[in-house]
Chain A
């Protein structure tokens, strides 16, 4: 078999259903073999779209996403998508073409050192120098991408290697001596954690994307109910615990709920699972949860005690460890007083906005929730739209909120929605977007229409790069520097691509427009003219303690 055939055979054996990508000179041998390989291929309009779509597919399905691009500019266009997947621990295999082996290092046409470029933004990467290694490398790449703390892996394949012939040998097993993720927690540490929890008066569960990755939602719920602890989550942890559950406190951090931020400061024990105490969550670190002992469960030992001093570190898979913890917990703590306090905080610091008859972005998101009854997959762009989507839609199931957390990539939501829809064709998929973000990968409209990928894009159009404007308003004396952004006519633009567009200028039209959009069997842009200077509240100023929030409303 040729290298290209080996690659395709390996992808099939890895169970790959779809590849997102873009052709080019140095991947022609692969594309030639793809012609009749029977694999689904989605031709995006930009390689960044391919990477984000593969990422969205992975987040929605839990499978490894695959994208493919040519050398040089094709490969560098993937870089943002790769970095995005890296920051959010998403399993992704990115395959790039490379100039012929003997030209590498000669500054050949469309040459870029992509293993060098992606080294700091991948979990691992490979440059294939011998076609005999290819099958093993592909197998290893999928194993590394999806095991332990998942992440992106790049396989860079010179075009001559794609054409060389060798015997195809499928490696049945993968054995990398230096890579053995820990899945089971240390029994002594788990016992210690159980003991600590049993004595707790004010325990709180602080959960992140690791719960979703490990499929731990169910056991987590069992744990929360058993110990009667309120649950708060990171942006990446949205959906890991039902938002409508009575123990839910919502999201924590810079734009988290007031009650979550106050509650964690009062907790005596924080049980952190699959979350990494990002600065957007902790606020000023030396003031964070001063009275709390911290139990930290994470599959990545490097995440433990990186930002916060941890009292009981437990390295391993969240589902296993919570299961063990449940067995060890003989006696549940009495938290009735604590839950009363939490209820009080919920009443005292509710999420709110002023409803004055204009189209408020929060209202749009609420209506999206009402109309879809919470059953949609929501992807988001980055900025105010993302925070409103996180605050005002209630997510009861994992993998229903797909957002760029760690990297904060504008332009992520739309291609991610495409990937999610391909992975979950029976689900309604809605990208909650801003007028700025949507213009960063708007070309994927063509991909949606050509491939009949039916996604909805709810544009919260305020004429600004809203989050930056909000910061300029609050911290730069309203000196609005380069945040007023003009947009095309989104309705006409959608139509020109063969999609549909709906413009909404009045509050009473919001709900009917959403209903109408959902009934259309095509990609639809809904352009909501929302209040231009609406802010996301509460807000913790960068570097402040997380209970020192700007409420914004009287």
Chain B
């Protein structure tokens, strides 16, 4: 089961390594990780998606994160009302005859074609994990050449 947690940390060198090291040392897998500065200078916000087979592992992850000196707060979104988003960039096969079909799909999601050149188009899309999964599913018939994604970010109400 994948869980989204966010960690408010001191923005110092080595903090990311400390967090990542904590996961690797205990054999926990990070499914995604997104880091950015907050409004307050000196602090950063990390959104981490962690794979935890059970509640106990998740509990340990949170407790171990809290033990790190540079960690200010740990928020677990599992039981919190929140929104999650991810940005994805895709390179897909493109031909003019497919345009209508492609537009249909793109309009279903928060997405657009940023540019197309020759037989390739670059798309961006924003959404929660279900929307992103849906989009990828829908685009499969066109042939996805390459994709990059930011990893999940989340915010609570």
Interface residues, chain A, with chain B CB atoms under 8 Å away: 115-116, 119-120, 123-124, 127, 144, 176-179, 300-302, 305-306
Contact = CB atoms under 8 A, between A and B. Distances in A.
Interface residues on B, range: 10 to 19
A179 B66 CA distance: 9
Contacts of A116: 17
Contacts of B67: 300-302
Interface stretch (B44-52, B57-65, B91-99, B108-116): B57-65
B56 A178 contact: no
Interface of B: 9-10, 13-14, 17-18, 21, 25, 56, 59-60, 63-64, 66-67, 69-72
Given A144-B69, A178-B71, A179-B69, A120 B21 contact: yes
Nearest to A151: B67
B25 A120 contact: yes
Given A119-B21, A124-B69, A301-B66, 19 more contacts: A116-B17, A119-B14, A120-B21, A120-B25, A127-B13, A127-B14, A176-B69, A178-B9, A178-B69, A178-B70, A178-B71, A178-B72, A300-B67, A301-B63, A302-B63, A302-B64, A302-B66, A302-B67, A305-B59
B58 to A, nearest CB: 12
B60 A302 contact: yes
B69 A123 contact: yes
Contacts of B72: 177-178
How would you classify the secondary structure of chain B's contact residues: helix, strand, loop or mixed?
helix
Nearest to A153: B69
A306 B9 CA distance: 24
A182 to B, nearest CB: 11
A305 B56 contact: yes
Nearest to A120: B25
A177 B10 CA distance: 10
Contacts of A144: 69
Contacts of A119: 14, 17-18, 21
5 contacts: A115-B14, A119-B17, A178-B69, A302-B67, A305-B56
B60 A306 contact: yes
Contacts of A300: 67
Nearest to A148: B67
A119 B18 CA distance: 7
Contacts of A120: 21, 25
Question: Closest 10 interchain pairs by CB?
Answer: A302-B63, A178-B72, A124-B69, A120-B25, A179-B69, A301-B63, A119-B21, A302-B64, A302-B67, A120-B21
